[in-house]
Every structure is written in structure tokens, then in C-alpha cells.
Amino acid sequence: MQPASNPTVILGGGFAGLFTALHLSQQNYTHPIILIEQRDRFSFKPLLYELLSGELHSEQVYPRYKELLAGSSVNFVQDTVEFIDLDQRQVTLDSGKVFRYSHLVLALGSKTTYFNTPGAAEYAMPFTSGEQVIALRKHLRHRLHEAIQTDDSAKRRLLLTVAIIGAGPAGIELACTLADLLPIWYDELGGDAAEIRVFLVNRSREILKGDVNSHLRCTVQTALKNRVVPVDFLFDAAVSKIQADGIEYQKQDKTQILQAGTIVWTAGTAPNPLLMELAVPHNRGRLLVTPTLQIPEFPEVFAAGDCATDAENPQPPTAQVAYQQGKAIAVNLKRMREGKLTVPMPISMRGTLMKLGLNESVANLFNKVQIKGQPGHLIRQGTYLELLPNPAHNHKVTAEWLTDELFQRHRPVSHMQLGQTHWLSGAIALMAGLILASPLIWRAAQPIQFQQSLGWTGVPSLLNQLTPPPR
Ligand SMILES: Cc1cc2nc3c(=O)[nH]c(=O)nc-3n(C[C@H](O)[C@H](O)[C@H](O)COP(=O)(O)OP(=O)(O)OC[C@H]3O[C@@H](n4cnc5c(N)ncnc54)[C@H](O)[C@@H]3O)c2cc1C
């Protein structure tokens, strides 16, 4: 038996782990809290496309844990977890440090898997963290600079071709973003934007297969075609090899090659190997937990996010589930410390949101209403900006974003897609103004209905921060 004074240790500072830590701190949890994470910065994954495009800054979407946790009671340890001993109630880190715990939260997420595809780990770029996004941005910029300097048309074609492997939500959102963004970047260098090619490569014909967003397929297909350069589909293509200058794939029993100067891998995730070593039940690599997110044999251990699942009420591996679970765990940890029973907390799916290009998204409300285009974009941004951890951080980003929307301060899209005429910028600012004003009018007229209908989107509290609600 470990002394109760041992700390509560949280492994992994993603959505589940970081939000558990922040909620514990906010509810004045009186025991030491230690958050162990291998990286020094938190990646707000749903907004990584905005980090790539420059629509949001790195300190907004990819902030340092030290900054996020400043003023909280959470002790941040940057290190890699090497071994978890549930029987001895201790974890060993790469540095050799050993932490004993009274309570443990497993929030280690999942890993990228390349399905043993030769060359994939060497030549395909992953897209799951801020660090990887910054590397991709640098790589793409470099490719465009090389392309503008060459007179060799075959070489330029290769340099200007991007292959994105995987037509799940990340592959699609990235393809839409790049098909709008790269023409703008290349145009700024004096290149012919029409030469940019973005390929979406998928093993089957079906996009968004088995994903929570699968019902958005038609909207997504239209959006992929309507970008500044239309996204090319390479479907029924099983990638068999990746090289520095392209991919080899099997299609209709033939081996074919797509030459590409940039290859991005979004095709698969695998369970965190560290958790697979634990002698507790798993389901497809995710730890099986009770409705209260505890490991049945070890009730002092909680698990959440992409690395855990409740067999009776399985949830998709998404950020919106992970952060709600973080809050639920914090509540139950406090109850346990107070000698109370743990209770299941409801997890509500708030609809789905997808970025379908610069300033274009689809917000799918309750699987019934789809709000597309610029209004969808405003709902998506508002929802995620509301979620950014730490109120000071959140407020700063929200205010900056709204200023940009209204006054066009630093929008990369301004050059090509929207043209450079003042009247058009003015019309767009006016449209954004009208879109932003309508919730204010609704809130003033029917405050309760407004809160009930839009509460899940985060828009009411976002507005409350910016303008006081009417009395
Ligand atoms: C590009 C992209 C876009 C996405 N968009 C959306 C979206 O729009 N909406 C949505 O709901 N979801 C989205 N998701 C999914 C969502 O981000 C994940 O479901 C969510 O991050 C899961 O949270 P988590 O805390 O379980 O894991 P993670 O957020 O992956 O966090 C796990 C943490 O554990 C750390 N870690 C791992 N191993 C170790 C170790 N051995 N030692 C120390 N630390 C370790 C990792 O560094 C990481 O910080 C997106 C994912 C990606 C990649």
C-alpha cells in the first residue's frame, strides 16, 4: 500500500492529460499533481492546419506547457515514460527518475503507424504535432523556392506535387488547406499557381471510412473539387513503397508511380506500445475502462482519450471526447480524495467540425444541420478557440482572431482568392460583421433559447467574454 500523500501522476499532456491537470488545479485539489510529458509544447491538433497556413500563430496553437501551467498547482516534468508498474504504483522515466503515485492517469494517446510500408518512416512526413507541422511548412516553402528557380519543367512538376496519403479527416482537411494555400505562396514568389498539384491517395474508393464525419462525404467531395486548385483523387491505390521523390502503389494489379516532392502520411494510428505491455484488458489496443474511466483491477488508475475505451459506451478517438474525459477524471479524483464514490460523467458529442480550406469549414450540428463555408468557419474557429486551455490564453487568441476576421490584418488568402480590391475586402468584412452580429441579436431577443441551442458550440461564452450579456 502506497502512502496517500504520494502525488497524483498524469502521463501524457494531450487533451485528456492536460485538461485533467488543469481541472484538478482549478478545483483546488489539495494533493500534489505531476504532469509528465515528453514534449515541451502542447499541440492543439484540430487547429494544426491554421498553424501551417499562418492563420494562427505558434504561441496560440502550439504553446509551451510552462506558459499554459503558469499559476496552476501542476508540476510539469518534461521526460519520456519508459515503464509503468501498476503493482508497485510507480513509473520510470527515460532520465532514470522514478515517480511513485497514489493515483495515476494514463493519457498517452496513440502513435502514427506506417503499416511497415518500406520508406514511409524515412520519406513521408507525419502530421500530428506542432513540431511536425513547422517542419512541413519549412519543407513546402523550400520546395516552392526550388521550383521557381528551375527551368526544367519535369523537375518543377515534381517539386510542385504533394501526395497526401490517407483520406480520413486529417488527410482531407490538410488537402483542402494546401490546395488553397500553396497557390497563394507560389503566386507570391511569382510562380504560376495552376502548376500546383495536390493528390489525395487512398486505399479504398470511400473517403472518411468508419469516421464520425462519414455523413459529410458529399460536402467534403464538393469542397475538395472547389479549392483554388482542385484536389486530385488517387483512390483504390495501395501504397507499397515510398521514396524521396514519390510513391509506388498498386492499382488494379499494376504497380504505378506518382512522382511527388512532398509526401505526407495521415493514414494510420496504432496503440501506444507502453500501454500494450500492461497486463490489463485491451480492446483493439485501447485500455478497457469502466464508465468512470477507471481500470477495473486498479481503481486508483484512470485512463482516457485515444488510449482508452469503455466497452459499454465507446467513444470515437477525438479531442472533444478526450478533454471532457479529462474534466470527468478530475471530478472523480477529487471525490476519491474526499472518500466519496466515483460517478460516471456524461460525454456529449457536440457535433462535428471540419476545415475544408482557408476560411471554409463545415459545422455539422447534431447530425442534422450542416453550416458550410464562411459561417461554418466562424463556428469552427469559435468553438476551438473557446477550448484553448487557460483563460488568459484563450481570451487573447479569441480577441486576435476576431480582429483579423473583421479587419483583414494578416490573412494569407487576401492576395489571390479574394482579389485585392477594397470593395471586396469591405464586403467580406461586412459579411463577417453581419454573421457575428446575428448571434448578438438572437442572444438579446431570446437569451435562454440562445444558450440552450448554441451552448455546445462555445459561441455563447465566447460572446460573453467579448461583450457583456444584456440584463
Ligand atoms: C491533424 C489532426 C487533426 C485532428 N482534428 C481533430 C478535430 O478536428 N476534432 C477532434 O475532436 N479531434 C481531432 N483530432 C484527434 C484528437 O487530436 C485526438 O483524439 C486527441 O488529441 C486525443 O487526445 P489524447 O489526450 O488522448 O492524446 P494526445 O493528444 O495524442 O496526447 C498524448 C500525449 O502523450 C504524450 N506521450 C506519448 N507517449 C509518451 C511517453 N512515453 N512519455 C511521455 N509522454 C508521452 C504525447 O507527446 C502527447 O502529448 C485530430 C488529430 C490530428 C492528428
Closest approach atom of ligand 1 to CA 317: 19
pLDDT over threshold 50, residue 227: yes
How does residue 59 score in pLDDT terms, banded at 50, 70 and 90? confident
Mean pLDDT of the 39-50 span: 95
- Residue where the block lists cell 502530421: 127
Give the mutation target among 64, 318, 361, 362 for probing the ligand 1 site: most ligand atoms within 8 A of CB. Answer: 318
Predicted confidence (pLDDT) at residue 71 exceeds the cutoff of 70: yes
Torsion angles phi and psi, residue 273, rounded to 5 = -60, -30
What percent of the chain stands above pLDDT 70?
81
Contact 6, 89 (CB under 8 A): yes
In the three-class reduction of DSSP (H, G, I as helix; E, B as strand; rest coil), residue 238 is classed as: strand
Give the CB-side neighbour count of residue 291, counting CA atoms within 13 A.
Answer: 9
Whether 282 and 303 have beta carbons less than 8 Å apart is answered as no
> In which residue are the cell numbers 480520413 written?
168
Mean pLDDT of the region 430-450: 56
- The residue assigned the cell 453581419 is 434
Tally Cβ neighbours within 10 Å of residue 219: 17
Residue nearest to atom 51 of ligand 1 (CA): 45
Average confidence score pLDDT of the chain: 86
Sign of the four-CA dihedral 420, 425, 426, 427: positive
Of the candidates 432, 441, 445, the one whose C-alpha atom is nearest the C-alpha of residue 463 is 441
At 442 the pLDDT is: 59
Residues 240 and 251: their CA atoms lie apart, in Å, by: 10
DSSP string for residues in 110-166? EEE--TT-TTHHHHPEE-SSHHHHHHHHHHHHHHHHHHHH---HHHHHHHTEEEEE-
User: Which of 11, 15, 81, 131 for a ligand 1 pocket mutation test, highest count of atoms within 8 Å of Cβ?
Assistant: 15
Position 457 scores a pLDDT of 57
Instruction: Please say if the pLDDT value at position 99 is more than 70.
Output: yes
Residue identifier of the C-alpha nearest atom 23 of ligand 1: 15
Q: Is 458 helix (H, G, I), strand (E, B) or coil?
A: coil
pLDDT band at 435, cuts 50/70/90? low
Encode pLDDT of 385-424 as tens digits.
Answer: 777 766 555 545 544 544 444 333 333 333 333 333 333 4
Q: Is 171 in the pocket of ligand 1 (CB under 6 A)?
A: no
Q: Is the CB of 305 under 6 A from ligand 1?
A: yes
Within 10 Å of residue 21's Cβ, how many Cβ atoms?
32
45 C-alpha to ligand 1 centroid (Å)? 7
Distance 175 CA to ligand 1 centre (A): 20
Indicate the pLDDT class of residue 199, thresholds 50, 70 and 90. very high
- According to the model, what pLDDT value does residue 409 have? 33
Q: Where in the chain are the domains? A: 8-38+79-111+270-337, 120-267, 360-466
Report the alpha-carbon angle 303-88-289, nearest 5: 20
Cα of 151 from ligand 1 centre, angstroms: 42
Give yes or no on whether 8-38+79-111+270-337 and 120-267 have one common fold: yes
Contact 183, 193 (CB under 8 A): yes
Q: Give which of 263, 329, 304, 294 is closest to 117, Cα–Cα.
A: 263
Architecture of domain 8-38+79-111+270-337: 3-Layer(bba) Sandwich (3.50)
| 455 or 346, greater pLDDT | 346
Report H helices in 372-471: 373-387, 391-407, 422-445, 447-454, 459-466
Nearest residue CA, atom 41 of ligand 1?
A: 81
Ligand 1 pocket member 14 (CB < 6 A): yes
Q: How far apart are CA 320 and CA 310, in angstroms?
A: 16
Residue 349: pLDDT band with limits 50, 70, 90: confident
User: How many Cβ atoms from other residues are within 10 Å of residue 453's Cβ?
Assistant: 14
* CB-based contact 202:167 (threshold 8 Å): yes
Categorize the per-residue pLDDT at 352 as very low, low, confident or very high, splitting at 50, 70 and 90. Answer: confident
Q: What is the average per-residue pLDDT within 91-100? A: 98
The CATH number of the structural domain formed by 120-267 is 3.50.50.100
* Predicted pLDDT of residue 411: 36
Q: Is the CB of 23 under 6 A from ligand 1?
A: no
Distance CA 64, CA 390 (A): 12
pLDDT of residue 45: 94
Average of per-residue pLDDT across 54-76: 91
| CA–CA separation, 191 and 30 (whole Å) | 60
Tell me phi and psi for residue 309, to 5 degrees: -150, 145
- Name the pTM for this structure: 0.84
C-alpha cell at 317: 478517438
Closest ligand 1 atom, CA of 322? 23
Cβ-based neighbours of 425, under 8 Å, separated by 6 or more: 408, 414, 418
C-alpha cell at 21: 491537470
Q: Looking at residue 445, what is its pLDDT?
A: 53
Which ligand 1 atom minimizes the distance to the CA of 80? 42
Q: Which of 45, 51, 56, 133 to mutate to test the pocket of ligand 1 (most atoms within 8 A of CB)?
A: 45
pLDDT tens readout for residues 303-338: 999 999 999 899 989 998 999 999 999 999 999 999
For the segment 228-258, what is each residue's pLDDT rounded down to a tens digit? 999 999 999 999 999 999 999 999 999 999 9
Which of the pair, 402 or 61, is modelled with greater confidence?
61
Q: Please give the distance of CA 315 from its chain centroid, rounded to a whole number.
A: 16
Instruction: Judge contact between 10 and 105, C-beta under 8 A.
Output: yes
Please list, in sequence order, all residues whose beta carbon lies within 8 angstroms of the beta carbon of residue 29, skipping any fewer than 6 positions away: 8, 73, 330, 333, 334, 337
Which is more confident, 406 or 363? 363
| CA gap 369, 261 in Å, rounded | 39
